[in-house]
Amino acid sequence: MACIANAERTILPLDGRWQIAESVDADKTPATFDRTVAVPGLVKLAQPPFSGMEEIQSAAESKARTPAKTAEFQPLRNYFWYRTEFKWPHAKGASAHPQVAILKINKAQFGTAVWLNGRKIGEHLHCFTAGFFDLTPAMNWQGTNQLVVRIGAHRAVLPPSVVAGSDAEKHQWTPGIYDSVAVSFCDNPVIESVQIAPRIQSSDILVQTSVKNYGKPVAFDLNHTVSTWKDNRRVVGSRPVRIQLGEGEECVTTQVVSIPQARLWSPENPFLYVLETTTGGDDLRTRFGMREFRCDTPTRRFYLNGKMIYLRGSNITLHRFFEDPQCGALPWNETWVRGLLVDIPRRMRWNSFRFCIGPVPDRWLDIADETGLLIQNEYFIWAGQNWPADWAAAGLVREFSEWMRDNWNHPSVVIWDACNETRSDVLAHEVVPVVRRLDLSRRPWENGYNPPDDPDDPVENHPYENFHPERPFVLTDLETAVGAPLKMDGVRTPATAHALINNEYASLWLHRDGTPTGNTKPKYDRLLPNATPEERKEFYAYLLGGLTEYWRAHRQFAAVLHFVLLTCSYPGTVTSDHFVNVEKLELDPAFVDYVGEAFKPLGVYLRFWQSTLPAGTSRQFEILMVNDEYEAVSGELILALETTDGKTITEARRPFVVGALGGQTYCLMLRIPSYTGPALVKATAHYQREPTTTTSRRKVIVVEPPDSGQAGAGGRRQNP
């Protein structure tokens, strides 16, 4: 049995411009490649463009996925073929080449097949996980290697058993190699994967390493070294573990590595470490953060590093944005992505996102790790009660296992989300209970509209009924409501004692130009007839801000995530986002104003939704305050009636104190003077920290007092 000398992994990135061609046939490589396309990216960005992309997508989706119509469907194309060339980086002057070359395609849809130098290497059907291909048998170590990657042009080319995405509101299913590609060169034995589970109480990490020997029998030492990420300062090394592997043999080992006085990862201090794992023939660097995240049913709260935390934030539906006319190459532009994931959350006071109905490129999660975001990571399933019969447990277990493997070392990923608004016995009983055991960090699972799998799993609730056209909601009812989750019907979540996540509410979407989306026009016709686009935007932002205050103030939810920060916006879409210019990440100013106030860590909710106030009367106003910080906040609370240009008509003041992670309710009496006309009722908390104020506002019309005996009652109407 041979012992090996020290070696290390060399990684050759293959991102850049590739050649691309199309075909109907799955096995015949195109004779010519007359276009180029960016990797990572989408096929629709090819130059020159392919014709009929949208029409063919539509035809493929409506016909080819329906077995009875498959025979009559004659597509222009079924596949796209990518081609590039590369050389072993150290070919010139090297005395010996590495023993192994592994291609990794982080994510591609729909289905991936690989050829090297004309030899087929293998296939990977899954669309949302990394595919690994052993290039070694076909490598030309002395010269140029031609790499060809085939992907499906539409979902219909995949077996029905493969989850190729499930979203009833998507119009276009955009093919492409949408994540990075690289070749790793190393000697045996090869490190297949590493999983790191931080344990903060004992200040150590549990490390599970999968190693495979592609060559002759070998004996080696498995070693781990921990360093800080930013300054590469060595912290600790593990004791070596002696392992022997036969030809083709693989093993999984689990070790504990102590990290004395470990620095914890959190949104306030996203401190990162790097674990370097070596076998002598291969080495792998894995970044991680020392953090633990759990959900607790008795308190109905989330805990980060043992401390309660409230999640505030939004949703990103990247795969819907892929079909947006303005998408282009933005999701792979580092500056743009950092603006989306770093600058906007800081401006809006968010600490969390749900990456909704589909995965993001790996680089997005790297940035989330670095900036301290907490991510609810959702798989690409939104099937309602219409669970496809072909989606069997065995295939889903494989897909979910790969998905977890790709993401479990990211400290930002704190919740696994199996699906959106879906009920499935297969998921609930045969998939989630099996795959969750793979995660050594024991993250909670959110399971759509299935019952929670674990006693301490959270449950999602989407209280959209507020503005259902057939069941109009009376805003003044919020003055007596207590923020409880709405009782749902058939497909939706039942009442539960588990911690609740409200990650969708207020279904009043507008396109970026202020026009209603596909399903909101009847709502705006009823709520705000004859309004201009700017008036609709201001109304939506005002109402969304008030509802955000409401859901936060009553503490019925452990997480409040507005829907949606990023999606597609063009005629026919159901939802939309709040960008004025998505390329420049310019948000609607009214959204930033109202919703930005509503998400501040010190929340203020003016429990008042009347449309009129009678002049010459007095009224008591109730103000609910919540504090998401770990220190008490104190200051002065000012309740004011102002003109629309900001002049104070009357006001009342009092000191306030809100304890750490606590809440407090104050009542202030306000005398309404003889002024009449449109006005604002404003409750503003002034305090000595950043930001220095939080304001809750309600639009009102001050009217002449009603007849004697009715003063102070206030007017009521259905909606403002």
Domains of the chain plus CATH, in order, are 2-186 (2.60.120.260), 190-288 (2.60.40.10), 293-599 (3.20.20.80), 603-703 (2.60.40.10)
Residue pLDDT, tens place only, 515-528: 999 889 988 998 89
Please give the average per-residue pLDDT across 13-25, as a whole number: 97
The strands making up 663-671's β-sheet, listed across from edge to edge, are 602-606, 618-627, 663-671
pLDDT for res 527: 86
**Residue 239, C-beta contacts closer than 8 angstroms, at least 6 positions apart:** none
C-beta neighbour count of 403 within 10 angstroms: 20
Q: Vertex 645, ends 640 and 650: CA angle to 5°?
A: 25
How many residues are present in the chain? 720
**Confidence band, pLDDT 50/70/90 cuts, at residue 705:** confident
Please give the average per-residue pLDDT across 52-67, as a whole number: 56
Could you tell me if residue 555 is left (phi over 0), alpha (psi between -120 and 50 degrees) or otherwise beta?
Answer: left
Asked if residue 494 has pLDDT above 70, the reply is no
**Residue 195, C-beta contacts closer than 8 angstroms, at least 6 positions apart:** 207, 208, 405, 408, 409, 440
Asked if residue 72 has pLDDT above 70, the reply is no
d(CA 499, CA 556): 8
Could you tell me if residue 567 is left (phi over 0), alpha (psi between -120 and 50 degrees) or otherwise beta?
Answer: beta
**Confidence band, pLDDT 50/70/90 cuts, at residue 94:** low
**Confidence band, pLDDT 50/70/90 cuts, at residue 717:** very low
Share of the chain above pLDDT 70, in %: 91
Please give the average per-residue pLDDT across 232-252, as a whole number: 96
Q: Look at residues 526, 525, 506, 524 and name the one whose alpha carbon lies nearest to residue 465.
A: 506
Scored b (16 or more CB within 10 A) or e, 441-478 reads: bebbbbbbbbebbbebbbbbbbbebbbeeeeebebbeb
pLDDT for res 20: 98
Please give the average per-residue pLDDT across 439-462, as a whole number: 96
**Confidence band, pLDDT 50/70/90 cuts, at residue 3:** very low
Asked if residue 68 has pLDDT above 50, the reply is no
**Confidence band, pLDDT 50/70/90 cuts, at residue 472:** low
pLDDT for res 720: 41
> Looking at 81-95, 227-241, 259-273, 446-460, which range is the least confident one?
81-95
**What residue type is 7 in one-letter code?**
A
DSSP category for residue 95: S
Asked if residue 28 has pLDDT above 60, the reply is yes
pLDDT for res 162: 97
**Confidence band, pLDDT 50/70/90 cuts, at residue 298:** very high
**Residue 654, C-beta contacts closer than 8 angstroms, at least 6 positions apart:** 636, 637, 666, 668
How far from the centroid of its chain's Cα atoms is residue 269's Cα?
A: 20
Asked if residue 718 has pLDDT above 70, the reply is no
d(CA 324, CA 150): 24
Asked if residue 65 has pLDDT above 60, the reply is no
Do 182 and 11 contact (CB within 8 A), yes or no?
A: yes
Please give the average per-residue pLDDT across 185-202, as a whole number: 97
Please give the average per-residue pLDDT across 452-473, as a whole number: 79
d(CA 28, CA 31): 9
Please give the average per-residue pLDDT across 519-547, as a whole number: 94
Across the chain, mean pLDDT equals: 92
Do 14 and 86 contact (CB within 8 A), yes or no?
A: yes
Taking CA atoms, 30 is separated from 93, 148, 155, 560, in Å, by 35, 11, 21, 50
List the structure tokens of 186.
Answer: 């190393």
List the structure tokens of 78.
Answer: 């079924």
pTM score of the predicted model: 0.94
Residue pLDDT, tens place only, 665-698: 999 999 999 999 999 999 999 999 889 999 999 9
